[in-house]
Amino acid sequence: MFSSRETGGDLWSLLEQHGHPLTRQTPVHQADLFASPNTLEVHGTTVIAVKYDEGVLAVGDRRATANFSVMYDKADKVLSVDDYTLLAISGSFARAMEVVRYLRTSFKLFERTYLQPMSLEGKLAELTKVVRAGIPEALQGIGGFIPILVTFDLEANEGRIFFYDGMGARFESTEFGAAGSGSMQIRGIFDYIVKTKKPFHQMSRDEALQEALLLLDIAADLDAATGGWSKILPLARTITAKGIEDVSEADLRTVVNRIEQGRG
């Protein structure tokens, strides 16, 4: 780790002292960035979480981008942390993977040390800690990521959705949550669904899945960084009192076909 004591004061001096290829004498051209995509940070968007009558459904598109390039079309943005916790990620993919590995280790270590699972409040506090730890990098334009934590609260017997801002502030949603560059474009549609149809927590899994996939499709239409389903189906996972389950590709395809037929 670089120490501020090692430098004469500015960033360029720090880079030069440590032999970094980017110095004040090094011209940077946009064409060079596209010619070397591996030097770009890979980002993932968009993720959605909605409640339904048995728990919570989390859905994410599969696209990962770097600058204006599509780097990968099979990214997993809905990741299990333990048997009753999912993390839906947007933003820096590398940072998100680091956070998921840390949380898995932290939760398991707590359970083995104290012979009981970490409390929900403890899990939320751990995620707050790692989001805040990434603030310095995020302020430099790298490493920023926004998570949605989805869990099933066995004591309350209900699914719960928590989302964060870039500074680590935590909020709980009563019905839905979304993160990523496509989330702002669809923010008001969630409320429209709740007010004109019914609350998500009263929907069946298939009803909630259809609404979530439709929202993701709208986000893909309005946001270039969000992938649609024409090439690769989105990823969807549920979490209930029984634990975490994947929504099968067959079920996803059935709902997608239903949406497309409805448009005809």
What confidence tens digit (pLDDT) does each residue in 171-206 have?
999 999 999 888 888 999 999 999 999 999 999 999
Residue whose structure tokens are 């209900």: 158
**What residues act catalytically?**
45
**CB 229, CB 215: distance < 8 Å:** no
Q: Tens digits of per-residue pLDDT, 96-112? A: 888 899 999 999 999 99
Q: Shortest CA distance to 237 belongs to which of 78, 71, 11?
A: 78
What pLDDT is stored for residue 176 in this prediction? 95
CATH node for 42-263 = 3.60.20.10
Q: Is the pLDDT of residue 85 over 60?
A: yes
Please write the tens of the pLDDT for every residue from 206-217. Answer: 999 999 999 999
Average pLDDT rounded to a whole number, residues 76-93 = 89
Please give the residue that has the higher pLDDT: either 218 or 96.
218
Cα–Cα distance list, 223 to 1, 39, 155, 226 (Å): 36, 23, 39, 6
Sequence ranges of the domains in the chain: 42-263
Q: Between 7 and 261, whose confidence is greater? A: 261
Handedness of CA 176, 78, 179, 48 (dihedral sign): negative
Percent of the chain, pLDDT > 70?
A: 80
pLDDT digits (tens, 9 = 90+) for 24-52: 444 443 333 333 444 466 666 789 999 99
Higher model confidence: residue 82 or residue 138?
A: 82
Pair 60, 235: CB distance under 8 Å: yes
Q: 188 Cβ partners below 8 Å, 6+ apart?
A: none
Least confident of 13-22, 69-78, 207-216: 13-22
Contact 164, 131 (CB under 8 A): yes
